[in-house]
Homo-oligomer: A and B are copies of this chain.
Amino acid sequence: MKSIVISQSEGQNKLEMDEQPRPEANENDLLIKVKMAAVNRTDILIKETNTSYGSNPIPGVEVAGTVVEADSDHSFAVGDRVMGLVNRGGYAEYAVMPADRAMKIPESLSFKEGAAIPEVFLTAYQTLFWIGKLQKNDTVLIHAGASGVGTAAIQLAKQLTGAKIIVTAGTERKLQFCSELGADVTINYKKQPFDKAVLEATDNQGADLILDFIGASYWDKNLTSIKTDGRWVLIGVMGGSKLENMNLMSLMSKRIQLTGTMLTPRSDAYKAELSREFAEEVLPYLEQGSIHPVLDNTFLIDDIHEAHQHMKENKNIGKIILDVGSEAN
């Protein structure tokens, strides 16, 4: 089958098109004919480090497609339109997915939209609710508001809670988009120190919850922006991971709960339970259209380098899609 693999040449990791054997589904798996996949930062990291994929050279952690071999329990049927996380191998014509984490794509949504949902919406759901314990009267500060997880988190917080939503982003276009999704306060971090703006917007109390994709470069300002007894979920380190002067007393005096998390390395059981709860709680909103996946550009799988480059340059608003096997392809 047609697929993208990570290969090494001259000490550099590269992505290249390659013919690979079709993967084999175990009895609890679905074999899926992939229509659309999506690009994630974890794919870029995996390409650069070439460590986390074991023996499977194909990157990609989420797909949308049709079932071609059902699981032995027949929880899905051949022909079903499904979306979900895969442990590896999303950038290919066929992929296997444990059936207990697969989700039916709502009829109102296309494969492209389906591929834009799993990774960012599950991450946003997990960090807002399972880890961040967002409550209706809370204030949540969402950095990188126009990113994939950011746009998902704004909508989930808006529709599932009455929380006040503060976002940061670096262009007026992105901030405008965040407002349309439901952000109550938008801050252009390039034009003003975001911590001052957060304090102004919260009566000097700070945010109850911070979703932090940035890490080191925002550390001090996040400390200022968080409320006493606040929760701070560290999901990414786009602004670096090394702190040269960290004072533990600051965590004690504000009684901060700081939780690091990553979705991809978690267990199959965790991904299944998260997908199950998400499908129950959020799919109805996606079906009705009150929550919607945010699509940036779609690239043909042959143009994988351009797709990764687009993400690296932070040009996207929402998800970058890979067209793997649509009819048009």
List residues of chain A with CB under 8 Å of any chain B CB: 131, 215-216, 234-235, 237, 241-262, 265-266
Contact A253 B247 (CB under 8 A): no
**Oligomeric state, in number of copies?**
2
How near does chain B come to A196, taking the closest CB pair, in angstroms? 23
Q: Give the distance in Å from the alpha carbon of A248 to the alpha carbon of B237 in the complex.
A: 8
Using A242-B246, A243-B248, A244-B244 as known contacts, list a sample of 11 further A-B pairs with CB atoms less than 8 Å apart, ordered by residue number in A. Answer: A241-B247, A243-B243, A243-B246, A244-B245, A251-B260, A252-B262, A253-B260, A253-B262, A257-B258, A258-B258, A258-B259
Contact B241 A248 (CB under 8 A): yes
B-chain residues with CB within 8 Å of residue A254 when the two chains form the complex = 260
B-chain residues with CB within 8 Å of residue A260 when the two chains form the complex = 248, 250-256
**10 closest Cβ pairs, A-B complex:** A251-B260, A252-B260, A243-B246, A246-B246, A257-B259, A241-B249, A241-B248, A258-B258, A215-B248, A255-B261
B-chain residues with CB within 8 Å of residue A241 when the two chains form the complex = 247-249
Q: Give the distance in Å from the alpha carbon of A265 to the alpha carbon of B249 in the complex.
A: 14
B-chain residues with CB within 8 Å of residue A235 when the two chains form the complex = 252
**Which of A248, A251, A253, A257 has the most chain B CB atoms closer than 10 A to its own CB?**
A248
B-chain residues with CB within 8 Å of residue A255 when the two chains form the complex = 259-262, 266
**Residue on B nearest A254 in the bound complex, by CB:** B260
List 29 A-B pairs, Cβ < 8 Å: A131-B257, A216-B248, A234-B248, A234-B252, A235-B252, A237-B248, A241-B248, A241-B249, A242-B245, A242-B248, A243-B245, A243-B247, A244-B244, A246-B246, A248-B260, A250-B260, A251-B258, A252-B260, A252-B261, A252-B262, A253-B260, A253-B265, A254-B260, A255-B260, A255-B261, A255-B262, A257-B257, A258-B258, A258-B259
**Which of A249, A257, A260 has the most chain B CB atoms closer than 10 A to its own CB?**
A260
**Residue on B nearest A242 in the bound complex, by CB:** B247
Tell me whether A249 and B237 are in contact in the complex, defined as CB-CB below 8 angstroms, given that A243-B243, A244-B244 are known contacts. Answer: yes
**Which of A242, A256, A257, A265 has the most chain B CB atoms closer than 10 A to its own CB?**
A257
**Residue on B nearest A260 in the bound complex, by CB:** B251
Q: Give the distance in Å from the alpha carbon of A5 to the alpha carbon of B191 in the complex.
A: 50
How near does chain B come to A129, taking the closest CB pair, in angstroms? 15
How near does chain B come to A248, taking the closest CB pair, in angstroms? 4
**Residue on B nearest A259 in the bound complex, by CB:** B257
